[in-house]
Amino acid sequence: MRIFTILIITVVLAFADGESIVKYAAVIFRHGDRTPVEPYPTDPWKNESLWPVRFGQLTNLGIRQHYALGGMLRKRYSMLISEKFDPQEVYVRSTDVDRTLMSAQANLAGMYPPSGDAIWNPNLMWRPIPIHTLPETEDEVLAMKRNCDTYNVKKKAYINTDEYKTRLSKFQGLMNLLTLYTGKKIEDYEDINEIYNTLLVESIHDFTLPKWAQLLYPDKLRGPSCYSFTTATATPIMARLMTGPLLKEIVGKMNTVITKENPNPLKLSIYSGHDFTIGNVLNAMGLYDGNCPVYTATIFFELMQEKSTMNYYVQMVYRNSTGTAEPYILDIPDCGQMCPFDRFVELYSNLVDVDWHTECRYQIPWLTEALFALEMLVLFFLLYTLYYMRVRAGEESKRRSQPVYTIPIKEDNNNLV
């Protein structure tokens, strides 16, 4: 009996030694349920008065979805963050869009139900928490919409490839039908996805779809719609410029924890974005499974430290459900479910090493050479001008330093008038 007890204790300790704890986490989620952003021209439900809130806004369902997700995050990270909000522990950022800002607010309400002296109004169990944002046109990190000349050139080149055109041509018949029935020109995957999303929202809110839509939605539209989330990060350089700034920021926060540069490092970063955000990150990292990111779809980046070795690992978790389904651990390509931090950084160096502002200043190769030659010509002209001016100045100085001889003129009074 004694030997058996010792054996049990040994096994328990062995498992305990192998445990890992979360030292930092970055959470990226999509907003909750919303109304259609822009109904198509022939949409029978395009009258905004038929909807509970204005177009593109978060609904009560969306608020409840994110409040529930916030409660789940509280349970998941109860050992990482304090019960009361601490700005040194948690940083929240959202795109500058009403539905993402409101989703973040609802999520935080679920994460931080006030208690004790955090209750400022007993009739309102809610406490304001700061959410940071930037205008979308200035935000390359989360909105991913800041202009990048290099990216624009690379994407244009990509959509003109035979591979892209050949694949898209398979849906030409579908796009023709959608153009006919919606009254809107449908030309690519993004256009198909816009119609798919509108029909999805209308079906969620129990609006009867037109007969043509019932024949096409969801089965005929789902494939090309979900494929649209691969096109923005289709090539390594496109993925680098689109998602690099966000992943660089997350990896940088992890590195701060590991190196202990800051005695009070951030513990949790929360990013409130869109399906576009989720799809871009997953596809850029080789983790996209082809399914459209649903409302509240969430990616978890977790920096884990193994208790026995004190080594650091990255664990990625995904939740693509608005229900109670638990998130599942992702297999990081060529690394597995628990990827050593250094290996993780090495695998995704193409993304995290980005120098976005420098790389986005696109220069045409021949133009770069021409500009360099012009700069050299201007420099030569300036140097020659300076040299010439110095030579002339030296000659003038020399001339002035020589004695001046004058010939005396004898006055002739006889010549005076």
Amino acid at 355: D
> CA-CA distance, 343 to 300, in Å (whole number)?
18
> CA-CA distance, 220 to 125, in Å (whole number)?
45
Q: Which residue has the tokens 């001016």?
A: 389
* For helices 149-159 and 162-169, angle between their N-to-C axes, nearest 10 degrees: 60
- Does 274 participate in catalysis according to the annotation? no
Cβ–Cβ < 8 Å for 348, 247:
yes
The DSSP call for residue 410 is -
Q: Which residues contact 290 (CB under 8 A, 6 or more apart)?
A: 226, 227
Q: Residue 334: which region, alpha, beta or left (left: phi > 0; alpha: psi -120 to 50)?
A: left
Rounded to the nearest 10 degrees, how much is the dihedral formed by the CA atoms of 366, 368, 374, 379? -150
- Does 132 participate in catalysis according to the annotation? no
Q: What is the sign, positive or negative, of the torsion defined by CA atoms of 163, 164, 167, 172? A: negative
Catalytic residue from among 31, 43, 66, 274: 31
Cβ–Cβ < 8 Å for 69, 103:
no
Residues 11-23 as b/e (b if ≥16 CB within 10 A, e otherwise) read eeeeeeeeebebb
> CA-CA distance, 131 to 93, in Å (whole number)?
6
Amino acid at 311: N
Beta bridge partners of 21: 305
Q: Residue 56: which region, alpha, beta or left (left: phi > 0; alpha: psi -120 to 50)?
A: left
Q: Residue 277: which region, alpha, beta or left (left: phi > 0; alpha: psi -120 to 50)?
A: alpha
Residues 228-261 as b/e (b if ≥16 CB within 10 A, e otherwise) read bbbbbbbeebbbbbbbbbbbbbbbebbbebbeee
Catalytic residue from among 162, 275, 289, 342: 275
Kindly state the tokens that stand for 131: 């959410």
The DSSP call for residue 34 is B
Active site residues: 31, 275
